[in-house]
Chain A
Amino acid sequence: TQLLEQSPQFLSIQEGENLTVYCNSSSVFSSLQWYRQEPGEGPVLLVTVVTGGEVKKLKRLTFQFGDARKDSSLHITAAQPGDTGLYLCALNTNAGKSTFGDGTTLTVKP
């Protein structure tokens, strides 16, 4: 059973464009995290969202948590080549179990 679905799986855009990636779950979760992973390295945390409807901003990145706490989105404004990487969402349960989606591979071309 796939708990988390991320879309799109791959995204290739030009520098300066905007983009949105999505994370959807069939279950309600207590919190959700977004991570970014570069080749050959472990994922690094970008943000944790806890409250339904919550919006968090990190420079050009905007994270939104759905009202029903079953989905989330990540919007990047004016993407730069340095944004290239694998973006992963992680669903967290009350038991502390963290489950990851398959990720969105983003390529930003100069």
Chain B
Amino acid sequence: NAGVTQTPKFRILKIGQSMTLQCTQDMNHNYMYWYRQDPGMGLKLIYYSVGAGITDKGEVPNGYNVSRSTTEDFPLRLELAAPSQTSVYFCASSKTTGVTTGELFFGEGSRLTVL
């Protein structure tokens, strides 16, 4: 199993451009997450999904959109990129049932710079 795969690993955008960060997992996990991490800080939840066709906002959703058309894929869309979106983005997935959250498995991260 490849686990959680994110692409691209690095990207430089100009202000106002748009792009999509891709995330796919092959573990048949029901929950998927997108986080951003600024230097020396923790992870801020952008969006999450509890299953195909269901998405919900996290702590910092403004400027981003997501979709979950399949169990495996959870792309993150940035519209009109701004310098404040310069960050490292992590996708994660978990097999969560009941009230106990399963282990979150993370991708290697995507480093985005907006100039």
Residues of A within 8 A of B (CB): 6, 30-31, 33, 35, 40-45, 48, 50, 86, 88, 90, 92, 94-103, 105
Number of interface residues of B (CB under 8 A): 27
Q: List 5 A-B contacts (CB under 8 A).
A: A45-B103, A92-B100, A98-B45, A99-B45, A102-B41
Q: Are B109 and A96 in contact (CB under 8 A)?
A: no
Q: Please, which residues of chain B bring their CB within 8 A of the CB of A101?
A: 42
Residues of B within 8 A of A (CB): 31, 33, 35, 40-45, 48, 50, 56, 58-59, 90, 92, 94, 96, 99-101, 103-104, 106-109
Q: Are A94 and B99 in contact (CB under 8 A)?
A: yes
The verdict on A102 contacting B50 (CB below 8 Å), with A30-B100, A42-B107, A43-B106 known, is no
Q: Please, which residues of chain B bring their CB within 8 A of the CB of A86?
A: 42
Cβ contact of B103, chosen from A48, A102, A103, A105, cutoff 8 A: A48
